Structure formats: structure tokens, C-alpha cells
């Protein structure tokens, strides 16, 4: 008799826990157009990029890489998002300054 009571109690708790009729609290996902903040503490290893210099400003990547981009099967390092954005506007004109390894 105790076994049947224990099983009934477990089943009742299981069904109560799985009750989907109660609204669940959720955190809304950010909108697709939301601007995500840049993590200025993020840094990349120079061994992961294929360029010696930031193609937009000419800074050596050994001084620090704050952002990256893929271009023609290469990973390019940039000193900041501004330089990456400038490169993306006209990559063909700036790629030579990158000094690809």
C-alpha cells in the first residue's frame, strides 16, 4: 500500500511540475537591430590573423588586435572597430596595406 502511495505522489508531482498551462517568465531576446556594445577588453592573438598591419591605419598588429574580419579566406586583425568598418567600405583599396603573411 505504501508503494502505491509513493508512486501516486511521484506521478502527481511530476505532472504538476510539467504543467504547461501556467505562463512562464522569459527574457525577451534583443531585437535584430539592437546595437551590441563592443567589449574593449577583448584581445586577439596575432598568431590567429594573416596580416602584419592594420589595413586601414597601418598600425602593426603586434601592438594589439581589438577586432577581426574574414576577407578572401584570410583573417585580418584590426586595432579597433572603426578601422574594421573603414576597411569594409573599400577592402580592395586597402588590402595591400595589410601586408599579408
Stronger pLDDT, 92 or 45, i.e. the higher one = 92
Residue 99, helix vs strand vs coil: coil
The pLDDT tens digits for 26-74 are: 666 555 444 445 455 567 787 899 999 999 999 999 999 999 999 999 9
| CA–CA gap between residue 58 and residue 81 (Å, rounded) | 14
12, exposed or middle or buried, with CB in 10 Å at 0-12, 13-18, 19+?
exposed
| CA distances from residue 8 to 11, 15, 21, 65 in whole angstroms, order as listed | 5, 11, 21, 61
Amino acid at each position: 500500500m505504501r508503494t502505491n502511495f509513493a508512486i501516486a505522489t511521484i506521478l502527481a508531482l511530476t505532472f504538476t511540475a510539467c504543467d504547461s498551462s501556467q505562463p512562464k517568465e522569459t527574457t525577451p531576446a534583443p531585437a535584430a537591430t539592437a546595437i551590441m556594445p563592443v567589449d574593449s577588453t577583448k584581445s586577439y592573438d596575432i598568431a590567429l590573423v594573416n596580416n602584419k598591419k592594420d589595413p586601414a591605419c597601418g598600425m602593426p598588429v603586434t601592438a594589439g588586435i581589438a577586432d577581426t574580419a574574414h576577407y578572401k579566406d584570410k583573417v585580418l586583425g584590426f586595432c579597433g572597430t572603426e578601422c574594421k568598418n573603414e576597411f569594409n567600405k573599400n577592402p580592395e583599396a586597402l588590402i595591400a596595406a595589410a601586408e599579408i603573411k
